[in-house]
C-alpha cells in the first residue's frame, strides 16, 4: 500500500536525518534548519494536521456549528510545534501555552473556579516618553514578540529561533495551502507576492 511505502521512506529519511544531526554537535546552535524542507517532514506534518483538523471539527460541531478560523489556526500551530519535536524554544512555548489553556479550561469547566488567564507581559506604556531606544534593540523586541516564547531570549539565540520558526512557518503554509486546494479544488493565492526560494 502507499502508506507502507511511505512508512519506509519516512523511516529511512528519519534515520538519515538522525545520523546527520548525531554527527554534529548536539548544540542548540546546530539544529538542522533544512529539516523543514524535507518531504518526510511535510508528510508527517500533513498527516498530523489532518488529524488535528478533524478533531477540531468533531469537538466544535456539538457546541457551535462552525469551527472558527482561530481554532484551526491554533490546531495547526500545535501540530507544527509537535512536529518540531521540542527542540526549539518556540515549539515548547506553543505547547506549554496550549497546555495551560487547556488546564484553565478544565478548571473553569469542572471546578467552576475563576482562573485568572495569564496573558503574558503586556507592558502598557503609560508614560509616552520618547526614549531613544536603539533601533536594533527595538526591532529585536518586536521580533521576540512575534516568535512565540522568545521574549527573554538573548539576541543570537533569538536569531536562531527565528530561523527555525520561519522555515517551519513556510512548511506550514505550504501544507495548509495544499490542503485547502485539495478540499476546495482551487489554488490558493498567496497574500504577498514574495517568491519562495
Grid coordinates representing 156 are: 543570537
Type and span of the H or E element at 9: helix 2-23
Q: What angle do CA 92, 97, 100 make, to 5 degrees?
A: 125
Given 35, 95, 153, 165, the residue binding another protein (CB under 8 A): 165
Smallest gap from Cβ 113 to another protein, in A, equals 31
67 to 106: interface string for another protein, x by CB under 8 A = xxxxxxx--xx-----------------------------
For another protein, the binding residues in 130-159 under the rule CB under 8 A are 135-136, 139-140, 142-143, 146-147, 155-156, 159
Residues contacting another protein: total by CB under 8 A: 75
For another protein, the binding residues in 15-74 under the rule CB under 8 A are 23-25, 27, 33, 39, 42-43, 46-47, 50, 53-54, 57-58, 61, 65-73
191 binding another protein? (CB under 8 A): yes
187 binding another protein? (CB under 8 A): yes
Q: How far apart are the first and last CA of the chain?
A: 33
Smallest gap from Cβ 91 to another protein, in A, equals 15
Measured from the CB atom, the residue of 34 and 107 that comes closer to another protein is: 34
Measured from the CB atom, the residue of 107 and 180 that comes closer to another protein is: 180
C-alpha torsion angle, residues 176, 182, 183, 184 (rounded to 10): 100
Grid coordinates representing 51 are: 488529524
**What does the alpha-carbon distance between residue 93 and residue 86 come to, in Å, rounded to a whole number?**
9
Grid coordinates representing 123 are: 507592558
Smallest gap from Cβ 77 to another protein, in A, equals 8
Specify the DSSP class assigned to residue 169: H
Measured from the CB atom, the residue of 5 and 126 that comes closer to another protein is: 5
Q: What angle do CA 188, 193, 196 make, to 5 degrees?
A: 85
**What does the alpha-carbon distance between residue 35 and residue 14 come to, in Å, rounded to a whole number?**
10
Amino acid at each position: 500500500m502507499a502508506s507502507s511505502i511511505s512508512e519506509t521512506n519516512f523511516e529511512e529519511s528519519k534515520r538519515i536525518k538522525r545520523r546527520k544531526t548525531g554527527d554534529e554537535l548536539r548544540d542548540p546552535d546546530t539544529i538542522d534548519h533544512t529539516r523543514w524542507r524535507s518531504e518526510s517532514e511535510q508528510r508527517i506534518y500533513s498527516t498530523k494536521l489532518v488529524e488535528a483538523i478533524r478533531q477540531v471539527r468533531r469537538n466544535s460541531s456539538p457546541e457551535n456549528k462552525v469551527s472558527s478560523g482561530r481554532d484551526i489556526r491554533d490546531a495547526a500551530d500545535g501540530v507544527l510545534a509537535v512536529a518540531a519535536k521540542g527542540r526549539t524554544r518556540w515549539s515548547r512555548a506553543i505547547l506549554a501555552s496550549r497546555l495551560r489553556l487547556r488546564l484553565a479550561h478544565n478548571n473553569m469547566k469542572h471546578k467552576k473556579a475563576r482562573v485568572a488567564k495569564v496573558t503574558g507581559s503586556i507592558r502598557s506604556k503609560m508614560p509616552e516618553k520618547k526614549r531613544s531606544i536603539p533601533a536594533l534593540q527595538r526591532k529585536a523586541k518586536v521580533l521576540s514578540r512575534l516568535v512565540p516564547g522568545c521574549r527573554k531570549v538573548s539576541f543570537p539565540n533569538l536569531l536562531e529561533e527565528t530561523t527555525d520558526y520561519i522555515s517551519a512557518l513556510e512548511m506550514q503554509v505550504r501544507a495548509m495551502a495544499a490542503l485547502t486546494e485539495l478540499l476546495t479544488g482551487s489554488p490558493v493565492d498567496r497574500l504577498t507576492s514574495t517568491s519562495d526560494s
